[in-house]
Chains A and B, each alone.
Chain A
Amino acid sequence: MIELKNVSKAFGEKEILKNISATMETGKTNLIIGTSGSGKTVLQKCMVGLFEVDSGDIIFDGKNFTNMAEEDRKELRQQIGMLFQGSALFDSMTVEQNVKFPLDMFTKWSNQKKIERVNDVLARVNLKDTNKKYPSEISGGMKKRVGIARAIVLKPKYLFCDEPNSGLDPQTSMVIDKLIHEITKENNITTVINTHDMNSVMEIGENILYLYHGIKEWEGTNKEIIFNKNEKLNEFIFASEFLKDAKDMRMLEEKGIIDNERNMDDIMRDGGANLLVNDDDKS
């Protein structure tokens, strides 16, 4: 679990984060959402120690990261895995060398054992026969999966993902989301994801923190977000007519008014009448 207590951060005169308190729960995919410039990347960078907070505390399972000695921080960081927006793979290394790098640096395992572990994690992210390829030779989605493999190779307790779906097509985005969600559950990791992808919010948002101009505007789950009354959040999350319609449909599903096993053929055949679950609605 990661606790944020009154975290504030400014760059010069500009206040980026204002007094943010939140809890990132273990074994759940915790999402930080918000428009560009809302402070979500800065918040995540503060959480992993790339930026120092001006005030407040960031607590990893009872250990206060903000006032920790550098040596202790280094130790804690070895329990943190991070997937970057651009994957941040080392260009001069192959996929295998990229994933093996943290093992080379922090373990005294035999090369055979390291290779086995690398192959295990690459298989887990559904990457096979790519060991000898360079990052420039693989697709964006594959790079993200290599990034995930590198992030989890040391079996971290905390996983941070900065916009894991940026630049990916919707289908690949869903594969990446599902993968992160499954890895979180399998390893009971505290996962923190920065995103503005609405599919991610609805599919894997077990705990959502919405930032608006550096302020925590809303916190809840993907179920609660459908029924939320926060105007700023609704403007952000259901920005298009299509998404507003999707929200209405999801609300009807959640209330049990329509069947959530929608079938478009049925809709076309019966004019949508048989989608109404209750007889009262049908009449």
Chain B
Amino acid sequence: MKLFSTIGAYLLMMKGMFTKPENFKMYWKELMHQAVEIGMGSLGIVAVISIFMGAVSAVQTAYQLTSPMLPKETIAQIVRDTVILEFAPTLVCIVLAGVVGSKIAGELGNMRVSEQIDALEIMGINTRSYLVAPKILGALITIPLLVILSMVLGIYGGRLAGTLGGILSGDTYDRGLLMNFVPKNVWFALVKAYTFAFIISSISSFYGYNVKGGALEIGRASTSAVITSCILILFADYVLAFFIL
């Protein structure tokens, strides 16, 4: 029963976001603020993770490809496809669920506990559309961009590790990147990125917005937001792969 009432409350929160803004300019300002917070705030960690993800992927692929029958270009192909199909959208979004999700849940939870949300409600502001909607839209704008950046950096990280480690030359790696490229994979990765961005932002907002109690509950809400987001990301990953690929 609790699961159904939680889902119901989540759906009601989502429905409550769709109202006419009291002041479009203020909403736009908040959207831009959130886009910068989510996008720029996660840029560093995404860049570091992506480069190392590609680098490790290249080294481990080379380690496993022992047959002399397989061309070295295969390493680049495997790095490219694993980064595009799985590492960049899924792994990065799981990291973002921790970074962005806990931040959103913590921020809204603190606003709830310190009565800032009540203050906005009393002013006559729809807090779901003023506080939650810009976070979801901000995530939908920036997370796919971060995923694209992660793809580029991941592939570059693989090249860097391959050439620096003497596994393969830069030219061989570049040739391998162009071999058997399937553009649909990028499209699929972006579908995943949008889906995961929505999951991260809406689930975290829901947990933060509905915090009751004090500082302890804010921490609990952040943890629940991250755990639920991660589980839903993995579940959605499987469902999307099953139906789209």
* Min CB–CB distance B238 → chain A (angstroms): 38
A50 proximity list for chain B (CB < 8 A):
118, 121-122
Q: Does A48 contact B (CB under 8 A)?
A: yes
Picked from B23, B116, B124, the residue with its CB within 8 Å of the CB of A77 is B124
* Residue contact A84 to B121, C-beta cutoff 8 Å: no
**Contacts A85-B115, A90-B116 given; does A102 touch B122 at CB 8 Å:** no
Is the interface on chain A under 10, 10 to 19, 20 to 34, or 35 or more residues? 20 to 34
A interface, by DSSP: helix, strand, loop or mixed? mixed
**Whole-angstrom CA separation of A105 from B122 in the bound complex:** 13
Q: Does B26 contact A (CB under 8 A)?
A: yes
Q: Does B182 contact A (CB under 8 A)?
A: no
B126 proximity list for chain A (CB < 8 A):
74
* Residue contact B116 to A105, C-beta cutoff 8 Å: no
Q: Mark A7-33, 1 if CB is under 8 A from B, else 0.
A: 000000000000000000000000000
User: Who on chain A is nearest to B27 by CB?
Assistant: A105
Q: Does A242 contact B (CB under 8 A)?
A: no
**Whole-angstrom CA separation of A161 from B25 in the bound complex:** 30
User: Who on chain A is nearest to B121 by CB?
Assistant: A50
User: Who on chain A is nearest to B19 by CB?
Assistant: A70
**Whole-angstrom CA separation of A89 from B121 in the bound complex:** 13
Query: Which 9 residue pairs spanning A and B have beta carbons closest together?
Result: A77-B124, A88-B115, A88-B119, A74-B124, A84-B115, A78-B124, A82-B122, A105-B23, A88-B116
B contacts, CB < 8 Å to A: 22-23, 26, 110, 114-116, 118-119, 121-126
Write 25 A-B pairs (CB below 8 A) sorted by A numbering.
A48-B122, A50-B118, A50-B122, A73-B124, A74-B124, A74-B126, A76-B124, A77-B122, A77-B123, A80-B122, A82-B118, A84-B115, A84-B118, A84-B119, A85-B115, A88-B114, A88-B118, A91-B110, A91-B116, A104-B26, A105-B22, A105-B23, A105-B123, A106-B22, A160-B122
